[in-house]
Amino acid sequence: MTSPLERHPYGEHAIVLPPKSQTTHDAADIDREIRLLMYRRLHEIRQFEKRAYDMFMQNLVKGTTHLSLGMEAVAAGFGATMREDDYTFATYRGHAHTLARGVPMEGILAELLGRSNGLLGGKGGSMHLTSVEHGMMGSYAIIGAHLTIANGAAWSAQYRGSGQVAVCFFGDGTTNIGAFHEALNYAAVFSLPVVFVCENNLYMEYTAISDITAVPRPAADRAGAYGLQPVVVDGNDADACYLAARDALEHARSGRGPVLIEALTYRHGGHSRADPGKYKPPGELEAWLAHDPLKIYRGRLERIGVPSSALDEIESQVGQAVDAATEAAKNGPLPEQALAYTDVWADGGHSWRN
């Protein structure tokens, strides 16, 4: 018995349940202002991703999209802790991390639509969102590469003595590619100020991570091999993510080297586009919907005394912002044809011969 599908039929692997408690961090030492910001971020990401999905289904979003529905807390928690000049490196599933650095919605949505008011002028698309002025150093679509690139940004920060930290987000599936292991060893050897965050959503594309990984915790169980501590957090609890991020950033910024965090989470939808997620065993999605990042956080804020009207107000403000961004994105003109030929080289052009 070697192949996972000899052990069980496709989609009938063991369910992984979310953590039981939603109140663990109620009394955490986090400013109310920051918590309200995180609440706003959670909603921005949720409502943005829903809109992106709807627009994809209407054939307005071109190509593909990888949404973070259900995974909002990781981005919200980290985004709220990072210093303004810290670096974010994300994957093709990067809308959330882009929003979490404060990049306006319009440019992101317009980029998905291939419009000239897109963040990248329509030249990168959903999988490559980047906004250097916000510290969003890119979204990378080849598994593993950006862990090594994040090391480089961390090295540069270390060399310049700037105190910046690079934070690199990636999936569970990414822990099985060579670049992950190269990057962790490299970061550890040179004590780089980098925080690696594995968003373990239990699946690669259409295969359960548990079926094809030698250890149960894809990131945490590898930490020891690089002299790092195994850290697992509830990736659906924004406060848990915030606290883990705060510690990790402190650690990295103070010169004590890299940190590897495994944030346990779940994507409510499919891997990309219109994937129906048939590989998910019955009951799993329901269990995770009950541990939804937005529900958890709203419950917490109400328990600590934030009036629900204030929370409703945030939600409706976000809704208006998404609507406005949608209109602006849709109204954006198509990119000028000349844009296809710009910025191959530093001189702005594409000429390769005389």
Partner 1 sequence: MAQLTYREAVARGIAQEMNRDERVVLIGEDIAGAGGVFKTTVGLLEQFGPRRVLDTPISEQAILGAAMGAAMTGLRPIAEIMFSDFFAVCWDIVVNQMAKTRYMTNGQVSIPLVVKSGNGGGLRFGAQHSQSIENWAMAVPGLKVVTPSCPEDVVGLMAAAVRSDDPVLFFEHKGLYASRGEVPDGPIEDVLGKAKIRRSGEHATIAALGMMVPRAVEAAERLAAQGISCEVIDVRSLIPLDAQTILDSVGRTGRLFTVEENPRALGWGAEIASIVGDEGFWDLDGPIVRITTPHVPLPSADSLEDLVIPSVDRIVAEVEKAMQA
Ligand X SMILES: Cc1ncc(C[n+]2csc(CCOP(=O)(O)OP(=O)(O)O)c2C)c(N)n1
Here's the x/- map for ligand X, 63-102, by CB under 6 A: it reads as ------------------------------x---------
d(CA 166, CA 15): 33
Residue 128 interacts with partner 1 (CB under 8 A): yes or no: yes
Closer to partner 1 by Cβ: residue 22 or 88:
88
Report the chain's C-alpha Rg in angstroms.
20
Residue 144 interacts with partner 1 (CB under 8 A): yes or no: yes
Residue 137 Cβ vs Mg ion, minimum distance, rounded to whole Å:
21
Q: Which helix (H) or strand (E) holds 321?
A: helix 308-331
Are the C-beta atoms of 322 and 70 separated by less than 8 Å? Answer: no
Residue 155 interacts with partner 1 (CB under 8 A): yes or no: yes
Residue of 89, 203, 242, 297 that binds ligand X (CB under 6 A)? 203
Residue 212 Cβ vs ligand X, minimum distance, rounded to whole Å:
11
Question: Over the range 240-249, which residues count as b (16 or more CB within 10 Å of their CB) and which as e?
Answer: bbbbbbbebb
Closer to partner 1 by Cβ: residue 80 or 120:
120
DSSP string, 18-77: PPS-S-TTTT-S--HHHHHHHHHHHHHHHHHHHHHHHHHHTT-S-S-----TT-HHHHHH
What, of ligand X, partner 1, Mg ion, none, does residue 6 touch, CB below 5 to 8 Å by kind? none
Residue 75 Cβ vs ligand X, minimum distance, rounded to whole Å:
12
Are the C-beta atoms of 204 and 173 separated by less than 8 Å? Answer: yes
Residue 174 interacts with ligand X (CB under 6 A): yes or no: yes
Residue 345 interacts with partner 1 (CB under 8 A): yes or no: yes
Structure tokens, 262: 């495994």
Binding site for partner 1 (CB under 8 A): 87, 120-121, 123-124, 128, 130-132, 137-138, 140-142, 144-157, 159-160, 166, 178-179, 182-183, 185-186, 189-190, 339, 342-346, 348, 350-354
